[in-house]
Structures are given as C-alpha cells and as structure tokens.
Amino acid sequence: MIFGANYLGRAAKEIFESNSVVIYGFLDDDKKTHNSEVDDVVVLGSTDDDGFLKFIGKKCEAFVALDDNKLRKATVEMLQEVRHVQPVNAIHNKAIISTKAAIGHGNFVDVSASAAPGSTIGNHCIIHAHSVIGVEAKLGNFVQIGAGSVINAGVEIGDEVFIGSGVIIVSGVTIGKGARVGAGSVVIGPVKAGETVFGNPAQKVK
Ligand SMILES: CC(C)(COP(=O)(O)OP(=O)(O)OC[C@H]1O[C@@H](n2cnc3c(N)ncnc32)[C@H](O)[C@@H]1OP(=O)(O)O)[C@@H](O)C(=O)NCCC(=O)NCCS
C-alpha cells in the first residue's frame, strides 16, 4: 500500500514493480484522486481509512510517499502506533547500495542512485535518481536528496535536510539539521542547522 498518489507515489510504484512487488493500491487525502488510477493501480481512499489500514501488517506492507516532511512524519507515526509497523524501503533494483553501506527503513532510493561502502542512510529519506552517496557519508532521518546530486566522501547530513537537484557537496562538509541547499549549488563549507544556501560557492540566503 502506498501513501500518497502524487509524483513520489508514482515513482515509488515503479520502484516496487522493478522488484516484482505487486501494489495493492494508493491512499491519498485528496478526495478528487479517489477511485482514479495511477497508471493501472487504484487510489482506494484516504490515509485514515480503517477499512484499508487494517490490511497493513496482515496482507500487505506500507510505504509513505509524501515529500512534505511533516506529513511523512505524521503518517509514519500513525503506522507505528495504529498498525505497529515500520514502512518498508523502496529501493530500485537498478540502484546500487554497497553491501558495506547501512540503510534504515522507509527510504525511497530511485533508479541509478548509489551508496558507497561505509555510507549510512537513516530512516524515511528520499534519494532521487542518479544521486551519489560517497564513501562513509552519513545521512540522518527524513533527509531529501534531489536527482543527480553528489554527496562526497565523509559528508555528514543532519535530520530533515533538503538538498535540491544537481547539488555537489565537497568531501567532509557537515550540513546541520533542517538546512536547505538550492538546486545546482556547490557546497564547499559547513551549513548551519536551519540555514538555506544556494549558488557556487553556496552562500546563505539573507
Ligand atoms: C533553495 C530553495 C529550497 C529555496 O526555496 P524558497 O524558500 O521557496 O525560496 P525562494 O524560491 O523564494 O527563493 C529565495 C531567493 O533565492 C533565490 N534562489 C533560490 N534558489 C536558488 C538557486 N538554486 N539558485 C539561485 N537562486 C536561487 C530566488 O531567486 C530568490 O531570490 P530573490 O529573493 O532575489 O527573488 C529552492 O529555491 C530550491 O532550490 N529548491 C530545490 C528544488 C529541487 O531541486 N527540487 C527537486 C529535488 S526534490
């Protein structure tokens, strides 16, 4: 069961299908989507619909495909409290995760993303297509990495950080909790918690 029938949900469906996992259906709070199809899979109802929630943990597993961190967190907590389950990982079968990398649960890892030896990916992260997680790089929880970004060796990324697409973060840099890095930026020094930076070299948005 996929929570969220938006872009991310559609991409998650493709990821599960790349692993021959059958999708039972989508749940989405936008009532206009109910009974419509995402490709060939139906949006069954809302994310709090007990009639469908009761299957989770018994007949199927759950994946949260909501890119708004607040919504994703609330949905993860609901699944833990109400259904006593953790969302599964959605890892494309053409992503390359080193056997020497560590990865938690509830993560979205799209096609051609890679994670090198000694790298760590926390829980509930969204790692878009073609991103590179370098040797011994560390990602916290609820981190988002845009398509084609390069997180070089030894970089440390705190919880809830947002990295836009096409970003380069040079080796060893630390990005504080909740910081945001604009698309196309080159980050050459530390970014403090909660800061927004962009550009080459990336600078703080005033
Ligand atoms: C950096 C970012 C997160 C800031 O978002 P925001 O808080 O909504 O801020 P705004 O878009 O209002 O931008 C604020 C200012 O920064 C500038 N700016 C923002 N991002 C920029 C970027 N990547 N490069 C250059 N300038 C940028 C804007 O032009 C604006 O300047 P102004 O105040 O002179 O008009 C966002 O612009 C961004 O780059 N998002 C990445 C999107 C992406 O890659 N998505 C896919 C991955 S999931």
- Cβ–Cβ contacts within 10 Å for residue 191, how many? 24
CA end-to-end span of the chain, whole Å?
A: 42
Hey, which residues does 197 pair with through a beta bridge? 181, 204
Known catalytic residue: 124?
A: yes
Q: What pLDDT does 131 receive?
A: 98
Please determine, for residue 89, whether its predicted confidence score (pLDDT) is greater than 80. Answer: yes
Q: How far apart are CA 131 and CA 158, in angstroms?
A: 17
> Once rounded to an integer, what is the mean pLDDT over residues 46-58?
94
**The pTM is what?**
0.94
Q: What pLDDT does 206 receive?
A: 73
> Once rounded to an integer, what is the mean pLDDT over residues 183-199?
98
Beta strands at 108-109 and 90-91: parallel, antiparallel or unpaired: parallel
| 97-106 per-position pLDDT tens digit | 999 999 999 9
> Once rounded to an integer, what is the mean pLDDT over residues 137-146?
98
Q: How far is CA 143 from CA 3, 49, 57, 68, in A?
A: 18, 28, 25, 11
Atom of ligand 1 nearest to the CA of 67: 48
> Once rounded to an integer, what is the mean pLDDT over residues 120-136?
98
Average pLDDT value for the chain: 97
Q: How far apart are CA 197 and CA 190, in angstroms?
A: 10
Q: What pLDDT does 115 receive?
A: 98
- Cβ–Cβ contacts within 10 Å for residue 124, how many? 26
The pLDDT confidence band at residue 94, using thresholds 50, 70 and 90, is very high
Please give the DSSP secondary-structure letter assigned to residue 7: H
Contact residues of ligand 1, CB 6 A cut-off: 128, 144, 146, 164-165, 180, 182-185, 196, 198-199, 205
Tokens read off for 10: 């559609």
| Long-range contacts (CB closer than 8 Å, 24 or more residues apart) made by 132-137 | 133/101, 134/171
Please identify which of the residues 92, 124, 128, 130 carries the catalytic annotation. Answer: 124
The pLDDT confidence band at residue 116, using thresholds 50, 70 and 90, is very high
Q: How far apart are CA 27 and CA 109, in angstroms?
A: 20
Please give the DSSP secondary-structure letter assigned to residue 21: P
